[in-house]
Amino acid sequence: MGGHAVGDLASRITVSTLPLAYYKQEATDVETRLRLAIIAANKAINDKSRENREFEGMGTTCSVLSLSEAGAMIGHVGDSRVYRVRRGRIEQLTFDHSLQWEMIRLGRATAENVELYHPRNVITRCLGPDLAVQIDVEGPFSVEPEDVFMLCSDGLTNHVNDEEIGVILSGLPPEKSSRLLIDLANCRGGSDNSTVIVVHIESYPALTVRPPDSSPLPPPAAAAPAGGLPVALMLLTALISLGLAGWTMFRGRPELSAIFAIAAIAAFLLSRYFRPEPVAPPRLPTAPLTPLPDDPRLDPSMSSALRSSFRTSPPYRTVDCQNPQELLKFLAEAQSELAQAARDSSWRVDFDELTQLGRQATTAIQSEKPEKAIRARARAIELLMKEIYQRRGASTNG
């Protein structure tokens, strides 16, 4: 925010400040450490913006993933996103702090018409411009072997949809998947910097807390020390003792009357002590502010723009990502078009390797091995995009 140069500065301040602040905190729980670390980064950006008028208003989004014995926790401000891919489904674990998402949450727009009335890239929260910042801390989420987490900026999600992201993350190792995602965004005309961090969980220690991906159970009510029957008996004893105290006093036996009076008081006090406490009903999840529209079946597009409603708690959106056919079709077309441009412009590319990779992809598809096909296409596109990046860099420097 504030232009490319100062926005980049705000991002660099966050990257340098936040990890140090996180580990310097004395708090033992991850949620508090995340909040205080993000607050420290926000203050560092704000302080820097006050030093120079050219830096005024600079800001950045921020998404932080912490993996610990408690599970995965996320600190989040802005419209960058954190996803988790697990068993053929991709889940968005963060809420977009954007005008579009807020309008839908408040019931002032629907997923179908929000693009018509509200711009996509207007955010409602960020680090930097203000001393006070509202932070979302999501989780903890359970972590399992073979889970894949991804943190990314909107430079990616503006051009690559959730299903494609899930297919790529499922089929490629982190280094290759992050490279292909960025190449894919740039192939589709990405004009914004795309940031992608991919974390693949090979193994994970047993969590020290109950996996919280489902709604937490209400705490069990403490058992009452006694039921209603003993209380009734004690009250009856108190009444009888009180009657005997009056009768013995009337008969001229004050010493017995005093004993019965004490017994009546004791029985009454015991009945109060053993009276069962009323059990409060468990707190139910808060209902959404406004009913959200049903999830419509819309044609897929090359973007993670909001095309359907979201939940009011994480995961906010969940998409199946087990059908790679559309992605493979696009990758084949992209490889073909880039290779033709390379031939027309005499790029320094190994065309024999590109041809071989194309054959590998075709064979893999025929053998119903889509992951191998994605790997081959990804490698081919990487070779071609590398040449494009080098030429752009040379023209910029020249």
Q: Is 304 helix (H, G, I), strand (E, B) or coil?
A: coil
Beta-carbon contacts of 373 under 8 Å, excluding residues fewer than 6 positions away, are 324, 328, 360, 361, 362, 364, 365
Give the tens place of pLDDT for each residue, 166-218.
999 999 999 999 999 999 999 998 876 789 999 999 999 988 766 556 434 34
Two structure tokens written together for 335 = 């490889």
Which token pair is 194?
Answer: 């795309």
Distance (Å) of CA 367 to CA 164, 308, 362, 363: 21, 34, 9, 6
CB neighbour burial string for 44-73, b if at least 16 within 10 angstroms, e if fewer: bbbebbeeeeebeebbbbbbbbbbeebbbb
Q: Over the stretch 31-40, which tens digit does the pLDDT of each residue have?
A: 999 999 999 9
> Is pLDDT at 266 greater than 90 in this prediction?
no
Residue 225 pLDDT: 45
Higher pLDDT, 222 or 212: 212
Distances (CA, A) of 305 to 98, 320, 323: 11, 16, 20
Rounded distance, CA 43 to CA 127, Å?
8
Give the C-alpha separation, 169 to 177, whole Å.
6
What global pTM score does this model have? 0.75
pLDDT confidence bin for 7, thresholds 50/70/90? confident
d(CA 187, CA 179): 12
CB 199 within 8 A of CB 150: yes
In three-state secondary structure terms, 30 is: helix
Superfamily of domain 4-209+301-323: PPM-type phosphatase domain (3.60.40.10)
Higher pLDDT, 187 or 272: 187
Distance CA 74, CA 30 (A): 9
Whether the pLDDT of residue 2 is over 70: the answer is no
Triad 77, 78, 80: Cα angle to 5°: 105
In the structure encoding, which two tokens stand for residue 327, read together?
């992605």
Residue range 144-168, pLDDT digits in tens: 999 999 999 999 999 999 999 999 9
Residues 166, 90 contacting (CB under 8 angstroms): yes
Work out the burial of residue 252: count CB atoms within 10 Å of its CB; fewer than 13 is exposed, 13-18 middle, 19 or more buried: exposed
CA 311, 84, 285: angle at the middle one, nearest 5? 30
What is residue 297's predicted lDDT score, i.e. its pLDDT?
A: 32
Q: How far apart are CA 123 and CA 113, in angstroms?
A: 18
H/E run at residue 72 = strand 71-77
d(CA 253, CA 230): 30
Residue 236, pLDDT > 80, answer: no
Contact 149, 199 (CB under 8 A): yes
Q: What distance in Å separates the CA atoms of residue 334 and residue 39, rounded to the nearest whole number?
A: 43
Quote the mean pLDDT of the chain: 83
Residues 24, 136: Cα–Cα separation, whole Å: 21
What are the domain boundaries of the chain?
4-209+301-323, 228-273, 326-397
What pLDDT score does 206 carry? 84
Q: What count of Cα atoms within 13 Å lies in the side-chain half-sphere of residue 9?
A: 17
